[in-house]
Amino acid sequence: GSFEVNLKKLLDENISPEGQELINIVGKWASQLGMRVFLVGGIVRDLLLGQKQKDLDIVVEGDALVLAQEVGKTLSAIKFIPHERFKTASIILKNGQKIDFSTSRVEFYQHPAALPDVEVSTIREDLYRRDFTINSMAIEITYGHIGELFDPFGGLLDLKEGIIRVLHNLSFVEDPTRILRALRFLGRFNFKLEENTEKLLIDAIAGGFLNLASPARILYELKLIFTEKDILKILKFLKHYGIFQEVFPKASYEEDFLKRYFNYTVEYLRLLKETKISWLHGVMGVYAKNLEGIEEFIKKYPLTGEEEEVLRQGASGIDEALILLSLPREVKGQEIFETLTKLPPEGYWALYLLLDRFRARERFKKYFEELRFIKPEITGEDLKALGLKPGPLYREILHKIKMLKIDGVLKNKDEEILYVKQNYF
Ligand code: CTP
């Protein structure tokens, strides 16, 4: 049964003033239209965990299109996007924020194109079709009922005890991507799988159900895995349940190596002045120990041409860079520059993970801290003033000067100008 819990205070404290204003307007309109309206899914879970919130996911017992339209009018939304067939609608506010409304329904569709009209249902049924108890709670926001928790499947208790539990025995079979979702939540929250849920997960894997999910949906889940804080932990779970090779064909799982995912991230991001590892970085990293394997990944998943290109380019450039950076002999700045500049950014992460020797790491650092910022002081304007005709030669000269600067041969603008005069006239 549901708990007698009121979360008004939690909403007040954790949702922005604009969010609360929005909730009030939605709630008032719903009550005026005789509908009930709820926040559902991840936002409820995260609120209860005291975590900061992203998007509002709204479910309506009633016609979501009608409610969305009224709310949109009241807030002078710049866009109203209805999906008659799925009884969902989105509005986009003036500040760019997007709010999704859906009518409570029975199916969780995997192939929207193949679906008949949705079957409208109660909020309870809407929650029942979801993945885990912790994601199957709702907070009512109908005016007069704001903050009432609706928790028919014991999500709050599982959340408190740190348990991932499916709502029914066919959950992983109906939607095999939930196998990956389960492992992702385990890793993110440091939770445990409830006993029967673990058995169902193992059975679904043994039954080959993960292969039945479309590669596009699996890829979507993999992308999400690489946005998590502790990627290693999730990779460990993939290995533990025997699906690491299935989702990353031909990648080799070497735990000591993959630990670097965790140990190196902060230093790497600081060095590159980036804020996070993108999913393509992640894929490159997973394949770092077997770069040829990346072709299998490309074959398996529907990537864009650009993504394929990045992975291929990364894979082919890393070996060369690795060798150069590890050479025992003196290596010129120019050599480092020319080798590293060819790699796509996604390749740097895999390369960084592979660097074992201090010398190689120092060279890698040198590129990111110094070499990549070095530029000639003279410009095209200067070349023009010297009397050189504008053309492709300019690029060549400027590149040459940059290389000489990188190697410390040219030290200032005067020397650069002198160099041009001596070599190009
Ligand atoms: N959901 C589900 N089965 C899936 C995907 C989603 O039942 N395969 C349901 C869950 O109730 C989930 C909600 O849809 O809470 C929203 O999905 P999504 O935004 O993908 O996940 P969140 O739970 O919000 O998780 P995250 O914090 O990772 O965004």
Residue whose CA is at the smallest distance from ligand 1 atom 24 = 42
| Nearest residue to 129 (alpha-carbon basis) of 189, 218, 40 | 40
In a domain, 1, yes or no: no
Give the number of domains in the chain.
Answer: 4
pLDDT tens-digit profile of 317-339?
999 999 999 999 999 999 999 99
Task: Take atom 9 of ligand 1 and give the residue whose Cα is closest.
Answer: 130
Q: Tell whether 261 and 361 lie within a shared domain.
A: yes
Nearest residue (by CA) to ligand 1, atom 7, is: 130
Residue 177 CB less than 6 A away from ligand 1: yes
144 CA to middle of ligand 1, Å? 27
Closest atom of ligand 1 to CA, residue 188? 28
Residues 14 and 141 in one domain: yes
Could you tell me the distance, in angstroms and rounded to a whole number, from the CA of residue 74 to the centre of ligand 1? 29
| Cα distance between residue 72 and residue 78, in whole Å | 8
Contact 172, 207 (CB under 8 A): no
Residues 13 and 149 in one domain: yes
- The finding on whether 130 has its CB within 6 A of some atom of ligand 1 is yes
Residues 40-50 have pLDDT tens digits of 999 999 999 98
* Residue 154 half-sphere exposure toward CB, CA atoms < 13 A: 11
Distance 112 CA to ligand 1 centre (A): 16
What is the bridge-based pairing of β-strands 163-164 and 138-140?
A: unpaired
ipTM > 0.95 for the complex: yes
410 is in which domain, residue-wise?
A: 380-424
Of all protein residues, whose CA lies closest to atom 18 belonging to ligand 1?
42
The DSSP code for 39 is E
- Asked if 74 and 101 sit in the same domain, the reply is yes
What is the b/e burial string over 84-105, where b = at least 16 CB atoms within 10 angstroms of the residue's CB?
A: eebbbbbbebeeeeebbbbbbb
> Could you identify the atom of ligand 1 that is nearest to the CA of residue 184?
28
Q: What is the overall mean pLDDT for the chain?
A: 92
Q: Is residue 2 part of a domain?
A: no
| C-beta 133 within 6 A of ligand 1 | no
Answer whether 103 contacts ligand 1 (Cβ < 6 A).
Answer: no
Q: Is the CB of 155 under 6 A from ligand 1?
A: no
85 and 139, same domain (yes or no): yes
- The pLDDT of 54-62, averaged and rounded, is 89
Pocket test for ligand 1, best of 38, 57, 129, 130 (most atoms within 8 A of CB): 130
Predicted local confidence at residue 2, as pLDDT: 45
Please report the pLDDT score of residue 143 as a whole number: 96
Residue % of the chain over a pLDDT of 70? 96
Q: Does residue 70 sit within a domain?
A: yes
Atom of ligand 1 nearest to the CA of 131: 7
Judge whether 234 lies within some domain. Answer: yes
Q: CA-CA distance, 280 to 166, in Å (whole number)?
A: 30
Q: Where are the beta strands (DSSP E) in 127-176?
A: 138-140, 148-150, 163-164
pLDDT digits (tens, 9 = 90+) for 93-112: 998 988 999 999 876 655 54
Tell which atom from ligand 1 comes closest to the C-alpha of 130: 7
- Residue 190: give its domain's CATH number: 1.10.110.30
Query: In which region does residue 250 sit, left (phi positive, over 0), alpha (psi from -120 to 50) or beta (all else)?
Result: left
Q: Is the CB of 151 under 6 A from ligand 1?
A: no
- Residue whose CA lies nearest to ligand 1 atom number 23: 42
* Domain co-membership, 131 together with 34: yes
- Are 213 and 252 within one domain? no
The model's confidence at residue 116, banded by pLDDT at 50, 70 and 90, is low
Q: 167 and 155 share a domain?
A: no
131 lines ligand 1 (CB under 6 A): yes
Tell me the pLDDT tens digit for each residue of 384-396: 999 999 999 999 9
Return the ligand 1 atom nearest residue 43 CA.
Answer: 24
Q: Is 175 in the pocket of ligand 1 (CB under 6 A)?
A: yes
